[in-house]
Structure 1
Amino acid sequence: MHKVIEKIDSRILAETIVEGMQEVKAKDITILDLRDIHNSVTDFFVICSGDSTTQVEGASNSIVRHTRKVLRDKPWHEEGKRNGEWVLLDYVNVVVHIFHKDVRSFYEIEDLWADAKRTDIPNLD
């Protein structure tokens, strides 16, 4: 049983999002901590990849379900669910990017935010 937290800390939200990703075996999970970057748009980016559009959609659904269950929180905004290549879930203080593996390598979002503190989460294979 998970404990419900009244005021959600952005770090706790990011970790809960990672758990939702891991439930469907999303790959190459990375957390970018943007809190020390001047004028950043959010506290954290949480990024993962899926091998197929079905896995991208499954990761998105798992994250939304898991954050709702554990923290009683839901995204403020969602983008890209129709095409399944790049889904963005905006939790305001945490922004989630779920990429199809080919699309992720094209955009290289981690390189755009190279000044951020980066944490790579090992795959659960």
Structure 2
Amino acid sequence: MRVFKQIPGLALLRKRPQNQIPFSLAVGQVIKSSDATTREVKVIKMELDDYLKMYFNKSFVFETVDKNSSSKKGDIVLVRKLDKPLTQKKFFSIEKVLFQIDNIIDPITGKKISHDQDEIKKHLEQLSQLYN
């Protein structure tokens, strides 16, 4: 066994243990809602590559608990580590929905943006009349 520990580069092949959590608070995107209160959230973290001395994106996918059932697929959420995990897979809970995917508000007018094509054409005509 000692011989294998001395092989250079063997530490790179070892995987991180599954129960080791790399952060306690993170921002992620809901990629799947499998249950009424269970969401899968993808979190991207920058990790340093010691050999290249550069940071690269590393993504983590976690099952989280959404007690209020307020998030949907595509939403950007704030996740916090639970004090006591509910199951072996659920270590995080969704604390707050930061951006809803279907509730886009125009920062200039403060109105909700509609995805209706007729309203978009009408809005473009109004803008063209203003600038002509």
Fold equivalence (TM over 0.5): no
Higher strand proportion: 2
| Structure number with higher relative contact order (C-alpha < 8 Å, ≥ 6 residues apart) | 1
TM-score by length of 2: 0.23
Identify the structure with the greater helix proportion.
1
TM-score, with length taken from structure 1: 0.24
For the pair shown, the structure with the greater C-alpha radius of gyration is: 2
